[in-house]
Every structure is written in structure tokens, then in C-alpha cells.
Amino acid sequence: MRVTVDEDRCCGAGQCVLLAPEVFDQREDDGVVALLDGKPPESLHATVREAAEVCPTGAIRVDEEA
């Protein structure tokens, strides 16, 4: 799995951080998503998929082939 984020689309809702704090964080100055781990371990894959699904702006992309 490879995870990417589109910082321009992020609205700072923070759901991704609540679900997967090992993979996502938020910048202190504006709350925009900060990707901590673009290739998370398999144990986090389901949680990362959920974070992408609940993102209100679709700023998180998950590539299963990577």
C-alpha cells in the first residue's frame, strides 16, 4: 500500500489523524494533513482505507498496488 495526500484539498477535519495517528498528523499552523508514513505496515491498512473513505474532501489517496 502507498498513501498520498493532496494538501490543497485538505480542509483540516482531522478524521484521518483520529483514526490513524501513526500515519497522519496535522500541521499546527493551519490544520492541513501531514503524511507521516506513506507506506504503512499491513496492520494499519484497514484503518488507512477507512481514513481515506471518511475524508470529507477526498484528500487521501490509497494505492493498493504499491
pLDDT of residue 66: 60
pLDDT of residue 65: 83
pTM of the model: 0.94
Q: What share of the chain is helix, strand, coil (3-state, %, to 5)?
A: 25, 20, 50
CATH code that applies to domain 2-63: 3.30.70.20
Say whether pLDDT at 61 is over 90: yes
pLDDT of residue 34: 97
Give pLDDT tens digits for 5-55.
999 999 999 999 999 999 999 999 999 999 999 999 999 999 999 999 999
Q: What are the structural domain ranges in the chain?
A: 2-63
Q: Is 20 exposed, middle or buried (0-12, 13-18, 19+ CB in 10 A)?
A: buried
Length of the chain: 66
